[in-house]
Amino acid sequence: MKNHVWRPLLIVLVVVCGILMTRALVVPEDFGVYERGYMYGWHRKSNEAEWKAIRVKYKTARVCAGCHKDKHDELIKSVHAAISCENCHGPNYDHPEDPLGMNIDRSRKLCIRCHSYLPYKGTLRGGIPGIDPEKHYPSAECVLCHIPHNPKAMNQKREARS
Ligand code: HEC
Ligand code: HEC
Ligand code: HEC
Ligand code: HEC
């Protein structure tokens, strides 16, 4: 064969070898397809254990309902039905085994986040009934008067106590 055939062929060979060598160096040994049907496609086998080791942070209201049926039943009948328990109580992690338990936040901040009046008409946030935190009983916790799991009802017990 002539030079003008050999030269490009050599370049192609070098490129192919380069790709194969890079692949051998860079792709981990346990990279492959591990189940029939190609369900999870190509992945690192060791990556499965890495995902399993990640602690689940949020567990959804359905999990809470299993043990706190009373709270769940009260909440889903209320105007707060759409708010997930963990939105107010924080991530579940290892509750109830976790001795720290769930976070109970009685601060005004928790509610003001959604209920400080915002004049954004036509938006979902603007549609939430709002108050002016500086004028609406500024020195008291919201839960002194409102029941977070049933906000349309007033907290009779606490009102009487205060
Ligand atoms: C396996 C059952 C179980 C599940 C699931 C569960 N809890 Fe609990 N929870 C308990 C028990 C038991 C207690 C009472 C023990 C205590 O006060 O620490 C408790 C207490 C609480 C408390 C009060 C803690 C305190 O300091 O008084 C809150 C708030 C709470 N749970 C919220 C939640 C939320 C939100 C979820 C869902 C993300 C949830 N729980 C899921 C069993 C459970
Ligand atoms: C809008 C915020 C909000 C949501 C949503 C919410 N909580 Fe609460 N929760 C609170 C606050 C605030 C308190 C403290 C109330 C108080 O002290 O008066 C509380 C108290 C509790 C307590 C403590 C014991 C008690 O009887 O008061 C438990 C248990 C609890 N919530 C479970 C749940 C579960 C389960 C869900 C979901 C089904 C849920 N909460 C949803 C804000 C919320
Ligand atoms: C994640 C956002 C969010 C948080 C946090 C939240 N709320 Fe709400 N709240 C809502 C939404 C949404 C509604 C229902 C709006 C509607 O459909 O009318 C509502 C409704 C209410 C209502 C009824 C208003 C009315 O007259 O119609 C009261 C009262 C209320 N919330 C008090 C509270 C209190 C007290 C807290 C804190 C413990 C709190 N909310 C935390 C979103 C929130
Ligand atoms: C001392 C009792 C008390 C405290 C504390 C209190 N509220 Fe109220 N709230 C009321 C009463 C009474 C009403 C109904 C009459 C009114 O609108 O003033 C009301 C009404 C509301 C409404 C309905 C407003 C509307 O336009 O429909 C929302 C939302 C609300 N409160 C949220 C909160 C939030 C959030 C906090 C804490 C930052 C809070 N409240 C603290 C007594 C209280």
pLDDT, tens digit, 9 for 90 and up, residues 27-82: 999 999 988 878 888 999 999 999 999 888 888 999 999 999 999 999 999 999 99
- How far is the centre of ligand 1, averaged over its atoms, from the C-alpha of 58 (Å)? 14
Task: Please state, for a pLDDT cut of 90, what percent of the chain lies above it.
Answer: 67
> Cis (ω within 30 of 0) for the bond into 151?
no
Please, what's the b/e burial string for 19-52 (b: 16 or more CB within 10 A of its CB; e: otherwise)? eeeeeeeeeeeeeeeeeeeeeeeeeeeeeeeeee
Q: Which of 131, 135, 139 best tests ligand 4's pocket when mutated (most atoms within 8 Å of CB)?
A: 131
- State yes or no: pLDDT of 161 exceeds 70: no
Tokens 């050599």 locate to 10
Mean pLDDT estimate for the chain: 90
- How far is the centre of ligand 4, averaged over its atoms, from the C-alpha of 99 (Å)? 34
140 lines ligand 1 (CB under 6 A): no
Q: Please state, in angstroms and rounded to a whole number, the distance separating the CA atoms of residues 115 and 132.
A: 8
67 lines ligand 1 (CB under 6 A): yes
Contact 92, 64 (CB under 8 A): yes
Q: Using the atom order of ligand 4, give the atom closest to the CA of residue 115.
A: 35
Alpha carbon nearest to ligand 1 atom 29, residue: 102
Q: Using the atom order of ligand 4, give the atom closest to the CA of residue 116.
A: 35
